[in-house]
Every structure is written in structure tokens, then in C-alpha cells.
Amino acid sequence: MIPGARKINLSSLLLIFALFLLPGPSLAGQYQVYRVVNGDTFIVKHGSVKLTIRLFGIDAPEMSNRRHQVGQPFSLEAEQHLSKLILGKTVEVKSYGVDRNGRTLGEVFLLNGRNVNLEMLQAGLAEVYREKLAAGPDMHPYWQAEEEAREAKRGMWVQGEGYVSPGDWRIKHQS
């Protein structure tokens, strides 16, 4: 065995195969939420395998990647809201592929049927993803949820004209 290499069990290999090679919603199932990374990304456990899930079709305010640097307004609120919704719970994930960072793009549901992606939009703690999306679910409910939150000035929409899209914020703060 190569030093530093880890054994991969058969179930891990099959899961990786399903993620990368099967078309459409390839990963579907129930998973235990292990950690929330930010307002649109979290980690699940499936046996001994940990997967990073990126909520499909939404974009939450950006947290800072640097120590002692403030992130985008409402980034902490988005992360905390997502944590309250899913941390430590079992969720149903319907996958729509993998993003350029290797994260599974998923539409996520609580076991009572609530759509977590829509909940983040309704709370005003995410916007509909503005860049090109892979094929996925009907986006009409997503746009409607965002519009309702914006009109009600919920969450990040309270900023009015001062609001900056997470995509624009990433471009400005990449360096």
C-alpha cells in the first residue's frame, strides 16, 4: 500500500461511481447532516462516507475565507438558519450532478417534505443562482419565493439598493 493512501470500501466506490457517471438526479437518498459549512453548503454522512452538498439553484451570502475578515452581510444569518433547519437531521437529497468544486448539487428535503432550498429563499437568506444551471427541477417556485422575500424585505433584502448579489461579491473579493 502507498504511504498515506487510504482504503476505499466497495460502498464508497459505488457512491463515487454514481455521482460522476450517472446522468440526471444520480444521488438520491436519505443522509445525516454532519456539518453546515455556510448558507448553501453542508456535509452529510452515509455510513463512513462524507459528501459535500451544495444546495442546487440558490446562492447564499458569502462568508469570508480569511480569518478576522468580515463576510458578506447576512452570511452568518444564512449559515445559522441552514444549521437550524438541517444540522443533525436526516434529509433527502436529490442530486443534479457535481459542481466545479466537486460538491454534489442537490435539492434537499426534510423528512416532513419541506424543501430546504426554497426555505432559504423564503427566509430572504439566499437568492436564485444567477449563473448557468445544469438541468434540474422547475425553477418557477424558486423565483417566486425570492420575489416574495424581496417584496417583504425579509433577510438580506432589507438592504434595498445596498444589496450586492453573492456572485458580484465573490468577484469583488476574490483577490
Residue 139 lies in a domain: yes
Q: Residues near 98 by Cβ (< 8 Å), separated by ≥ 6?
A: 19, 20, 104, 105
- The CATH number for 130's domain is 2.40.50.90
**Residue 4 counted as domain residue:** no
Does pTM top 0.75 for this prediction? yes
The pLDDT, as a whole number, for residue 124 is 98
pLDDT band at residue 13, thresholds of 50, 70 and 90? very low
**Residue 35 forms part of a structural domain:** yes
82-119 residues labelled b (16+ CB within 10 A) or e (exposed): beebbeeeebbbbbbbbeeeebbbbbbbeeeeebbbbb
Q: How confident is the model at residue 27, as a pLDDT? A: 55
Is 100 one of the catalytic residues?
no
Instruction: Spot the catalytic one: 62, 79, 107, 146.
Output: 62
Asked if residue 78 is part of any domain, the answer here is yes
Structural domain tally of the chain?
Answer: 1
Averaged pLDDT for residues 8-26: 47
Q: Over the stretch 62-74, which tens digit does the pLDDT of each residue have?
A: 998 777 777 899 9
Catalytic residue (one of 79, 103, 107, 119)? 103
- Domain-embedded: residue 94: yes
115 part of a folded domain: yes
Query: What is the per-residue pLDDT for 166?
Result: 94
Q: What is the pLDDT of residues 42-87, one digit of tens each?
A: 999 988 889 999 999 999 999 987 777 778 999 999 999 999 999 9
In a domain, 131, yes or no: yes
Q: What is the mean pLDDT of the chain?
A: 85
Which H or E run contains 44?
A: strand 41-46
The pLDDT of residue 173: 81
Residue 89 domain-assigned? yes
pLDDT score of 11: 52
Give residue 33's domain range: 19-161
Q: Is the pLDDT assigned to residue 160 strictly greater than 90?
A: yes
Residue 35 known to be catalytic = no
Does residue 151 carry a catalytic annotation?
A: no
Terminal Cα distance for the chain, rounded: 40
